[in-house]
A and B are shown apart, each in its own frame.
Chain A
Amino acid sequence: MSPKTLYDKIWDAHVAHEAEDGTCLLYIDRHLVHEVTSPQAFEGLRMTNRKVRAPEKTIAVPDHNVPTTAGREDPSNMTEDSAIQVAALDKNAKDFGIHYYPVSDIRQGIVHIVGPEQGWTLPGMTVVCGDSHTATHGAFGALAHGIGTSEVEHVLATQTLIQKKSKNMKVEITGKLRPGVTAKDITLSVIGATGTAGGTGYVIEYCGEAIRDLSMEGRMTVCNMAIEGGARAGLIAPDEKTYEYCMGRPHAPKGAQWEAAMNWWKTLYSDDDAHWDKVITIKGEDIAPVVTWGTSPEDVLPITATVPAADDFEGGKVGAAQRSLDYMGLTPGMPLSEVEIDTVFIGSCTNGRIEDLRAAAAILKGKKKKDGLRAMVVPGSGLVRAQAEEEGLADIFKEAGFEWRLAGCSMCLAMNPDQLQPGERCAATSNRNFEGRQGRGGRTHLMSPAMAAAAAITGKLTDVRDLM
């Protein structure tokens, strides 16, 4: 047999039909659904009298537009539009018989945190969701990507997607990371190196010693932002850490089925002589703690750098960089570590897992946020929140002056009331620094949870290594 990449293997195992022109029907093992991109899809099913083909493989949870403040089980404590979207998901889940975690359930949370936590996401699966950060699940060696609402309806009705195969790209991070450098710094540095369109048309497999050394939480952070690099999906081959994470989860296989699954999972790696259409190699030791300075996730620099000038770039990026500098209110030549912030947001599907909260709490322990700064932690799920409370992390955050919220997407996309005001500057552990992303006129700097915690203490973008 010809050598294959991990992507090739998962793809081949899921082609239900292939047309002469190479257009395939790819079978979908898990379909995750949330309240914002699904109402129109369910409406479409009703209008055409169609059913959900595989309700047992379809999992819904409200996350994007839910409040993260106490009392939200009562819809009268939600804004009207949130209540309407959540009520629609409640009804659609019930009418179509799909798995559902309502806001009142401790297992509720960000869909990409709930899926792995409950064992829905397993190696070798195909996973889709009407959300671009579905790439997160690739950390398990699952082929996972975001889809639009028309495709949500297509998967609900047929359990397949019409797809053409992407190309294979390998991103290798060699060697060890230096102290203070995290999974977030890896994934941002890769986007900084390749650009936000560098992965367009590809599925990325991340590999190398620095990736192997990451926990499952860290691997999810890396794959989560594959989409910011333009890739259809990010993948990491499963290994002992993956199996250990999955074992015993509510929807993971048990007994003989676990053994059968393991037998297949152990074949899920890229063959030595597999063909790669593009290869990027970065030395782990060359990666520094980074922040973004502009309004594209590719605008990445080490925290020790200075704000660039528009003329430092070429082509269309010159105009874009000038627009970013104007929007961000930054002057070229200014050290990034002198940029003052108003807000700190720790959370999101990128960095809302227990390890992220541990990393931030380790920096904040016994310290206080700077006076006048607004800081919040929004755990990625009710279970992450409960665990953080049990480990004493919640107390550290509260004593440092952080708000301790309920689970949801919150200020990552700021659909709910958690928003920046015009001109406010935020140190955020989320994934997008687009204009207006966290609120109209709001300015976002992306970074790791430890870096965000450091910024909370000093009130400026800060090199976390100075506080370690």
Chain B
Amino acid sequence: MDKFTTLTGIAAPMPLINIDTDMIIPKQFLKTIKRSGLGVNLFDEMRYDDDGKEIPDFVLNQDAYREAEVLVAGDNFGCGSSREHAPWAIKDFGIRCVIAPSFADIFYNNCFKNGILPIALPQEQVDVLMKDAEKGANARMTIDLETQTVTTSDGESFSFEVDPFKKHCLLEGLDDIGLTMEKAGAIDTFEAHAAQARPWV
């Protein structure tokens, strides 16, 4: 997995609540059996018209935000299905960090498996970051995972919470499966015990 340490980049504002995984990557793009190449279809139905032409109003179609690496959004980001195609599409577009007042559980977990940092902050702080994002390409936000801070282009800083284990994995780019396999002994012991206690399982 790609590491995430620090990032300074353009932030795209999406002041909408309940941005769901069907918006992030519509189902017709779940037909792939690969993880790559989904960035072009990120937010497909909001981004392109029926003829496949870009809708100029949509934030990621504006020149200032084509290179965005951060997304600032409303409450309950990533609600809906468990499709990991959502973070795959976000990452493939080039976005490495999403900031919102809250995230849906499965999406939040999926981000960490793909080198994306989701940051939940209080609404008032997200409002400040949203304003900063609206300044466009000249304003760059800085995210530092080690110190757990987001800093606006004006130098205003907010600290955020992140689970220590998830932080460690992201900073080091660690593969979860490899880590768990190191605990195979504990799983063997549990399985032997469970086979006695609940043999019908």
Is residue B31 within 8 Å, beta carbon to beta carbon, of the partner chain? yes
Query: What is the bound-complex CA distance between A422 and B45, given in angstroms?
Result: 12
Evaluate contact between B76 and A196: CB separation under 8 angstroms: yes
Whether the Cβ atoms of B84 and A150 lie closer than 8 Å is yes
A19-B165, A200-B105, A319-B15 given as contacts; is B84 within 8 A of A158 (CB)?
A: no
Interface string of B7-36 (1 = CB under 8 A from A): 000000001111010110011101101110
Q: How many A-B residue pairs have CB under 8 A?
A: 186
Contact B33 A88 (CB under 8 A): yes
Given contacts A21-B165, A37-B84, A296-B18, contact A154 B177 (CB under 8 A): yes
- Asked if residues A432 and B27 are in contact (CB atoms below 8 Å), the reply is no
A85 and B33 CA atoms in complex are apart in Å by 7
Q: In this assembly, does A266 line the interface, its C-beta being within 8 Å of a C-beta of chain B?
A: no
**Chain B, 100-114, CB within 8 A of any chain A CB:** 102-106, 109-110, 113-114
Question: Is B135's beta carbon under 8 Å from chain A?
Answer: no
> In this assembly, does A122 line the interface, its C-beta being within 8 Å of a C-beta of chain B?
yes
Find out whether the CB atom of A200 lies under 8 angstroms from the CB atom of B76: yes
Q: A264-B198, A414-B27, A435-B45 are in contact. Are A150 and B33 (CB under 8 A)?
A: no
Residue of B nearest to A264 (CB): B198
Contact B76 A230, beta carbon cutoff 8 Å: yes
Interface string of A51-94 (1 = CB under 8 A from B): 00100010000001100000000000000011011001000000
Instruction: Indicate which residue in A37, A48, A81, A257 contacts B199 across the interface (CB closer than 8 Å).
Output: A257
Q: Within 8 Å CB of B184, what residues of A? A: 158
Taking the complex as formed, is A43 at the interface, i.e. its CB lies under 8 A from any CB of chain B? yes
Contact A65 B31 (CB under 8 A): yes
**In the complex, how many angstroms separate the beta carbon of A151 from the nearest chain B beta carbon?**
7
**Neighbouring A residues of B187 by C-beta, 8 Å:** 16-17, 25, 27, 53, 158-160
A435→B16 CA distance, assembly (Å): 13
Q: Which residues of B contact A148 (CB under 8 A)?
A: 82-84, 87, 106, 109-110, 113
Residues 157-201 of B contacting A (Cβ, < 8 Å): 163-165, 176-177, 180-181, 183-184, 186-187, 189-191, 194, 197-201
Determine which of A65, A122, A158 lies in contact with B200 in the assembled complex, contact meaning CB atoms within 8 Å: A122
A434 to B20, Cβ gap below 8 A?
Answer: yes
A435 near B106 with CB under 8 A, answer: no
Within 8 A of B (CB), among A184-205: 196-197, 200-201
CA distance A261 to B197 in the complex (A): 9
Given A196-B79, A434-B20, A415 and B31 contact (CB-CB distance below 8 Å):
yes
Chain A residues in 8 Å Cβ range of B198: 13, 124, 261, 264
**A157 partner, pick from B50, B104, B181, beta carbons under 8 A:** B181
Known: A27-B190, A148-B84. A40 touches B35 (CB 8 A): yes
Give A422 to B177 CA distance when docked, in angstroms.
43
Residues from 27 to 55 in B contacting A, C-beta threshold 8 Å: 27-28, 30-31, 33-35, 45, 50
Task: Check B199–A149 contact: CB distance below 8 A.
Answer: no
Q: How far is the CB of B22 from chain A (nearest CB, A)?
A: 4
Given A122-B200, A158-B181, A415-B30, decide whether A197 and B75 contact each other with a Cβ distance below 8 A.
Answer: yes
Q: Are A261 and B200 in contact (CB under 8 A)?
A: yes
Q: Please, which residue of chain B has its CB at the minimum distance from the CB of A257?
A: B200
- Known contacts: A158-B177, A316-B75, A434-B22. The answer to whether A125 contacts B201 by CB under 8 A is yes
> B62: CB under 8 A from chain A?
no
- Minimum CB–CB distance from B179 to chain A (whole Å) comes to 8
User: Which residue of chain A is the closest to B163 with respect to CB atoms?
Assistant: A164
A258 to B194, CA, bound (A): 16
Selected contact of B22 from candidates A82, A149, A261, A435, CB within 8 Å: A435
Instruction: Specify which chain A residues have a CB less than 8 angstroms from the CB of B61 in the assembled complex.
Output: none
Question: Looking across the interface, which residue of chain A has its beta carbon closest to that of B45?
Answer: A436
- Identify which of A25, A323, A432 contacts B180 (C-beta below 8 A): A25
A260 to B87, CA, bound (A): 43
> Are A154 and B30 interface neighbours, CB within 8 A?
no
Q: For the complex, is A39 an interface residue (Cβ under 8 Å from B)?
A: yes
- A153–B177 CB distance below 8 A: yes
Closest Cβ of chain A to B27, distance in Å, is 5
Please report the C-alpha to C-alpha distance between residue A268 and residue B20 in the assembled complex, in whole angstroms: 34
Contacting residue for A232 out of B35, B105, B114, CB 8 A = B105
Per-residue CB contact flags for chain A residues 394-425 toward chain B (1 = under 8 Å, else 0) read: 00000000000000000001110000001000
Determine whether the beta carbon of A440 is less than 8 Å from that of B33: no
**B106 and A146 within 8 A (CB):** yes
Cβ-defined contact, B26 with A436, below 8 A: yes
Q: Give A13 to B190 CA distance when docked, in angstroms.
A: 10
Least Cβ–Cβ distance between A81 and chain B, in angstroms = 4
Jot down 23 A-B pairs with beta carbons below 8 A, ordered by A.
A16-B183, A16-B187, A17-B190, A21-B163, A21-B164, A25-B180, A27-B187, A50-B177, A57-B201, A154-B180, A158-B181, A160-B180, A162-B180, A196-B18, A197-B79, A200-B104, A230-B104, A230-B105, A231-B105, A260-B200, A413-B27, A435-B23, A436-B26
Q: Which residues of A contact B (CB under 8 A)?
A: 13, 16-17, 19, 21, 23, 25, 27, 29, 36-37, 39-40, 43, 48, 50, 53, 57, 64-65, 81-82, 84-85, 88, 122, 124-125, 130-132, 145-151, 153-154, 157-160, 162, 164, 196-197, 200-201, 227, 230-232, 253, 257-258, 260-261, 264, 296, 316-317, 319-320, 323, 413-415, 422, 432, 434-437, 440
B interface residue numbers (CB < 8 A to A): 15-18, 20, 22-23, 26-28, 30-31, 33-35, 45, 50, 74-76, 79-84, 87, 102-106, 109-110, 113-114, 163-165, 176-177, 180-181, 183-184, 186-187, 189-191, 194, 197-201
Q: Given known contacts A21-B165, A65-B31, A124-B198, what 18 new A-B pairs fall within 8 Å (CB)?
A: A16-B191, A27-B187, A27-B190, A39-B33, A50-B177, A57-B201, A147-B106, A148-B110, A154-B180, A158-B177, A158-B184, A160-B187, A200-B104, A257-B200, A260-B200, A319-B15, A415-B27, A434-B20
